[in-house]
A and B are shown apart, each in its own frame.
Chain A
Amino acid sequence: MQSNAALEYDYSLAKKFTFLTILFGILGMLVGTLIAAQMAFPELNYLLGEYGTFSRLRPIHTNTVIFGFTVSGIFATWFYLGQRVLKVSIAESKFLMVIGNIQFWLYFVGALAATISLLFGVSSSKEYAQYEWPFDIVVVIVWVLWGVGMMGLIGIRREKALYISVWYYLACFLGIAMLYLFNNMAIPTYFATEGLGSILNSVSMYSGTNDALVQWWYGHNAVAFGFTVPIVGMIYYFLPKESGQAIYSYKLSLLSFWGLMFVYLWAGSHHLLWSTVPDWMQTMGSAFSIVLILPSWGSAINMLLTMKGEWNQLTDNPLIKFMVLASTFYMLSTIEGPIQAIRSVNAIAHFTDWIPGHVHDGTLGWVTFMIMAAIFHMAPRMFKREIYSRKLMEAQFWLQTTAVVLYFTSMWIAGITQGMMWRAVDEYGNLMYSFIDTVTVLHPYYAIRALSGVMYFIGFLMFAWNIYKTMTAGKELTQEPQFRTPMA
């Protein structure tokens, strides 16, 4: 094994993916803010003709934030921290550099093309798997390239034991590969006939209840292996690294990891409670969802305990604030989800705004906060400059925190209200509310959510600006900082 002599890491790929993270983040959240506003002010559906309706834009929002923003963030952080915890520079292998660059360009072009296809309504309709088959193929190739690059880097590592973060990135790769492939199995109809109809159309290999089961086995675990596993991988690196503290407990890391791996996959049927999938599967989904609280909270608690005694870091390093709050929102969404998976609670929560509320606790409070914190940590090391403005970062933190709180409180109240109104009967036993009553009553909450969207989006622009200025105008650094990120 080598000595601790400093290695020159190659950040070119990490930088490229960082740019994409910011680009897709802006795009995805802009559309998110627009669709939130459309639910409060339906006139906004007509800004772009056929292409501007809520229903066309919604998948653009979800796919851009998931497959654009989050996945870029995962790639960017992998190409940064992977090298560091494996103690090997990617530039040591020409092959890996080439693979990484092909991955980047194919991904960039593929993601743009896929987004445009959704705008034109080319969609295979399954949630978070809307891309039609040609784009699915691109996704698979990109993923395989990433896998090859990851395995390759692990293959030439100097650090014998895999650090915790690597466990999670590896699981992310394997999990998504398996899920994506099975859920998107489809037959292109053009090739199954004498070239009839559109070349883009395909038909799912599964039908009805089976299709639903495969979809939500995918959908739930896409959340697991996209919004949870790699983000946990990030925090296990960036929080101790930024704070200089050692991980609180290896044992807790270990149990949380394997617990998460084992339990997550069983819980998918909580998306299908009270549907036509067999009762026993629903029961399994409910029960495992509750169990899932513990392995999820295990990681969050491990992170909070890592910061034991470091109150001063929490108060005077905004980066630590982002990450501690991210852990807290992770705890919120991983107890909210399980409770929504209880049969009776789901009878109210399912189909209502409480679900998007839960979703954005996770995505805004946990995923996006963590990805932004990671980029704030990486930027000075990648660009060899100080963070441009600490003040801006503080302001951004408070603006976005307020936004998340407004988002989830408004959707929490809206969802519970809506769910209970659907069920309500009057004194004679007849339905008390017509459907439209349950829509109009939500207007104020939709308006608040739209406002929170604007706030969060502005926060994200502040972030983007700060990183841009860091790259171009931050004070130059002569030496890479060991722990705490320098900021002006």
Chain B
Amino acid sequence: MNALMIKALAFAAILMIATVWVVMSLNIDIVGDSVNAITMAGALAIAVITAAVSVKYINQMKTDTASGELADETWDGIGEYKNELPSGWAYSFLAVFLWSMWYGMFGYPLNTYSQIGEYNEEVLAYNAKFEEIHKNPDEATLIEMGESIFLVQCAPCHGNTGDGLSGKAHDFTTLGHFTKEQVLDVIKNGSNQLGYAMGIMPPGMASGAQAEEIAIYVAGGMKGEQPASFASCSSCHGADGKGMNGMSPNLVVYDQELVHHVLEHGKKGILGEMPSFKDRLTPVQEKAVTAYVQSLSN
């Protein structure tokens, strides 16, 4: 091998090593995912074949001399040799042509291959792989699982830290799970969107100073002394505000029930509108985000 060839192949090798290094440093599995593996093999083929073949011919500029029988004609002084086809090129053409026939008949048969069929298989394989983990995850696993789901699905609105991007969506990091304004808004306007067994909450359950004190109490996480006026709420939300076992929303913590209702129906309030996530999360994933959301306010 001569110097030019070594340089070209070294360049190809550096490029590949850099690529693999970057990808691995992001915790991506190259060998386990066949698509990733084939892509890396393809990248390697591009780098090596181009380097090797082009340098092979460039080297001939150094070592070979032009020869052959010239055609009679010239155009503006340009002549043409009647040389035969380079055999490597000709055989490769033939081989690739045969391969393409194979590809269309057996690799991805033109009349039977279906990408949706392949998708269905991918989903089955996925389910088989993760079923075990998803059966009985413990709390710590759930929180960890929930975090990555939250960062992908919820963070665009609720922010990476769950703080609701300064009032643009619900803030999960505070003690109580509502702000005073949110509670006041619901007291004033009622609520009719979450689909609880108890049905709707009518508007105007309290007003004036009473509404004010209730709101402060609820927004404070229902700590301290309960104002007497809260009685107008306890009939539905329970004296402890925890929603009477899922009959109405829990006002204290983000329980599974609440998160489920919000994900199922979405929620429109004074901060804005949250879309419904119906069918976008599996039951395990729902459990996991709940656990994570709960962990945020602790």
Contact = CB atoms under 8 A, between A and B. Distances in A.
Note whether A and B contact each other (Cβ less than 8 A). yes
Interface of A: 81, 84-85, 87, 159, 161, 163, 237, 240-241, 244-253, 255, 259, 274, 279-280, 282-284, 286-288, 290-291, 293-295, 297-298, 300-301, 304-311, 314, 324, 327-328, 331-332, 335-336, 339-340, 342-345, 347-349, 409, 412-413, 416-417, 419-421, 423-424, 426-436, 441, 482-483
Nearest to A252: B85
B54 A420 contact: no
Interface stretch (B21-29, B166-174, B245-253, B259-267): B21-29
A288 B19 contact: no
Contact of A344 (B39, B54, B71, B114): B39
A293 B99 CA distance: 13
B295 interface: no
Given A241-B78, A298-B89, A304-B60, 17 more contacts: A161-B73, A163-B78, A246-B70, A249-B83, A250-B80, A252-B86, A259-B93, A297-B89, A345-B42, A347-B39, A416-B40, A417-B26, A419-B39, A428-B137, A430-B145, A432-B27, A434-B156
B55 to A, nearest CB: 9
Given A305-B86, A416-B43, A328 B54 contact: yes
Contacts of B6: none
Given A246-B70, A344-B35, A423-B35, A85 B76 contact: yes
Interface string B37-75: 011101101100110011001101111111010110101
B186 interface: no
Contacts of A84: 75-76
B75 A163 contact: yes
B78 A304 contact: no
Interface of B: 15, 18-19, 22-23, 26-30, 33-36, 38-40, 42-43, 45-46, 49-50, 53-54, 57-58, 60-66, 68, 70-71, 73, 75-86, 89, 92-93, 96-97, 99-100, 103-104, 108, 110-111, 113-115, 126, 129-130, 133-134, 137, 141, 144-145, 148-149, 151-152, 155-156, 285, 288
Nearest to A334: B50
Q: Specify the main secondary structure of chain A where it touches its partner.
A: helix
A38 B262 CA distance: 38
Given A301-B57, A308-B65, A344-B39, A293 B96 contact: yes
Contacts, number: 241
B143 to A, nearest CB: 11
Contact of A429 (B36, B89, B134): B134
Given A245-B66, A294-B96, A416 B104 contact: no
B63 to A, nearest CB: 8
B54 A331 contact: yes
B115 to A, nearest CB: 6
Contacts of A255: 85, 93
A420 B36 CA distance: 7
Contacts of B93: 255, 259, 291, 294-295, 298
A311 B61 contact: yes
Contacts of B89: 252, 294, 297-298, 301
Q: Which 10 A-B pairs have the closest CB atoms?
A: A246-B79, A309-B65, A429-B130, A304-B57, A163-B75, A249-B83, A287-B100, A344-B38, A294-B93, A84-B76
Contacts of A237: 76, 78
A280 B115 CA distance: 10
B132 to A, nearest CB: 11
Contacts of B76: 81, 84-85, 87, 163, 237, 241
B46 A428 contact: no
A73 B188 CA distance: 71
Nearest to B141: A428
B42 A339 contact: yes
B117 to A, nearest CB: 9
Among A246, A253, A293, A435, find the residue whose CB has the most chain B CB atoms closer than 10 A.
A246
Contacts of A274: 115
Contacts of B288: 428
A305 B57 contact: yes
Contacts of B92: 294
8 contacts: A85-B78, A247-B81, A282-B115, A286-B103, A305-B57, A314-B61, A339-B46, A430-B152
